[in-house]
């Protein structure tokens, strides 16, 4: 998984390029690079903290390497197999940089 260098959102595969749904940044996928593709079903759409959906999100003390702020929004996602722990995502409340931590 890669994140946008402009706004910190997750990049998704669109028309053969890695594209940011938030700010429109795009770059070529690159040879030999594996990419996870996400499919949307007609009956269900899952969004991962996009745009202005930060409102109401829980916050915690986490230091942002980008701007030095010590408060971040956080959420959990099950990205690997079910018998492995969830991945913790953080988004800086000041600059919007997104990062993750594993157990």
Residues identified as active-site: 83-84
In sign, the C-alpha dihedral spanning 24, 26, 29, 34 is negative
Beta carbons of 103 and 14 less than 8 angstroms apart:
no
Greatest extent of the chain over all pairs of C-alpha atoms, in Å: 41
Gap between the Cα atoms of 103 and 92, Å rounded: 20
For residue 4, count other CB atoms closer than 10 A to its CB: 22
């Amino acid at each position: 998984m890669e994140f946008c260098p402009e706004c910190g959102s997750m990049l998704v595969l669109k028309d053969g390029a890695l594209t940011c749904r938030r700010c429109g940044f795009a770059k070529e996928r690159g040879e030999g690079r594996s990419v996870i593709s996400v499919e949307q079903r007609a009956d269900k759409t899952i969004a991962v903290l996009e745009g202005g959906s930060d409102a109401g999100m829980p916050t915690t003390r986490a230091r942002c390497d980008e701007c030095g702020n010590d408060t971040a929004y956080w959420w959990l996602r099950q990205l690997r197999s079910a018998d492995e722990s969830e991945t913790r995502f953080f988004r800086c409340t000041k600059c919007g940089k997104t990062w993750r931590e594993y157990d």
